[in-house]
Structure 1
Amino acid sequence: MPDRQTPSESLGLFPLHAVLLPGASLGLRVFEARYLDLVRECGRHGRGFGICLILAGDEAGDPATAAAFGTEALIEDFGQGDDGLLTLRVRGARRFHVRRVRVRDNGLQVAEVEWCDEASDEPVLPEHGLLASMLEHVLERTGGEHAAAPRARFDDAAWVGWRLAELLPLHDSQRQALLQVDDPHERLQQLLRLVS
């Protein structure tokens, strides 16, 4: 039987001490030459870059050791901060799994990635209904960009899971573990254990 291989794609990485989740937004300050080059390249080709959690090392300086799962960051807005640095507002899109990493001369890590399959339109199971209600309550109290989401979103298992993972006071290691789960119902089950 022939071995089917998933096609891979090359993606520049921006490792951070943070986890970007699908649908979440994140503000960045960009000052290192390698990341300024990456942003220019992304703008030229109309594509995003990858954000992975740093497991060892720092955001600046030598290339850090990053998690093997990350999220594609799409640039929504950019500007200049009071300190003259480039500021970006990015939004998490597709999840990916890093297969191989090479480091360019400028220190930029470029990964060969496989995109993770995303479950679409999976309804929240009855045993996870409490989590959807909790999310509604959190958004009513805190507001924010997701507060005006249509009612149907609260019955979308993937969306409810990502928003709770984004808004609950979790450690980055917990968010990373949730990011690596493919099944939205399993992700909600893990969240249920965390909030209990």
Structure 2
Amino acid sequence: MNAPVEIPIFPLNTVLFPGGRLPLRIFEMRYVDMTKACIRDDAVFGVCQILEGREAGEAAVPVPIGCTARIAEWEVPTPGLFNLDTRGEQVFRILDQRVERDGLIRAQVVLEPAPVAQALPTSQELLGRMLSEIIDKVGAKHFPQPVQLGDATWVAYRLAEILPISVDQKLAWLQYNDPVRILAEIEATVFGEEDSGTE
């Protein structure tokens, strides 16, 4: 197991996947300070789905699993406001956490290993074609680059992000370290198949 590291946590009503794009509008002082520190140190913060509470106001209770995010681009349209373009990097699990005086959550986390790279299985090429059609329709600029339609993990994570399903289901998929398993469940969800035929 990797050695624990400490990162700030940003609880949100969303699930971020490795490689995913997450635009954010930062205005609460605790997160403005967090953003400044991350930019200064080229450091990551953690995005977790909210278990209890809200995105703004008192510190929410995050679920104990999330994905690290790194700031790729940023701008300050007015003082005290950041517009961020962030990228998901690595799944983590929270071991321990505390709430700072300003309401920022800081947590000891362990980073999970990335899934083993593998090609999109022939049996699931339909999902790759479906994703390709979606990309063509909405524009490649809305997806992380480069587009990797032959990569099982890239296809699984991008479909998991865009499918109109519950955040709880997305969170369940985030916990899998097997993209083929995610693809099989996506296939069953999209096409209503109880068994996609994938081991």
Listed one character per residue, the Cα deviations across residues 72-130 of structure 1 (whole Å, up to 9, x for unaligned) are 11111111347962211111111111111111111111111111111232112232222
Conserved 8 A contact 1:58-1:64: yes
SS in 2 for 1:13: strand
Q: TM-score, normalised by structure 2?
A: 0.87
SS in 2 for 1:54: strand
The amino acid of 1:170's aligned partner reads: I
The reply to whether residue 137 of structure 1 matches residue 124 of structure 2 is no
- Residue in structure 1 matching 2:3, options 2, 7, 13: 7
The reply to whether residue 24 of structure 1 matches residue 20 of structure 2 is yes
1:125 paired residue number: 121
The amino acid of 1:156's aligned partner reads: D
Distance 2:63 2:25 in 1: 21
Alignment of 1:130-169 (within 5 A): 130-145=126-141, 146=143, 149=146, 153-169=148-164
Distance 1:84 1:49 in 2: 19
The reply to whether residue 88 of structure 1 matches residue 100 of structure 2 is no
Over 3 Å counting, the alpha-carbon distance change for 1:147 and 1:184 in structure 2 is closer
SS in 1 for 2:172: helix
Over 3 Å counting, the alpha-carbon distance change for 1:138 and 1:147 in structure 2 is farther
Conserved 8 A contact 1:140-1:147: no
Distance 1:125 1:99 in 2: 35
Listed one character per residue, the Cα deviations across residues 148-169 of structure 1 (whole Å, up to 9, x for unaligned) are 745xx22211001011112222
Percent sequence identity over matched residues?
Answer: 34
Conserved 8 A contact 1:70-1:95: yes
Q: TM-score, normalised by structure 1?
A: 0.89
RMSD: 1.9
Conserved 8 A contact 2:124-2:183: yes
Conserved 8 A contact 2:21-2:87: yes
SS in 2 for 1:170: coil
The reply to whether residue 184 of structure 1 matches residue 179 of structure 2 is yes
Over 3 Å counting, the alpha-carbon distance change for 1:83 and 1:35 in structure 2 is closer
SS in 2 for 1:182: coil
Deviation beyond 6 Å, 4+ runs, structure 1: none
Alignment of 1:53-72 (within 5 A): 53-72=49-68
Conserved 8 A contact 2:5-2:110: yes
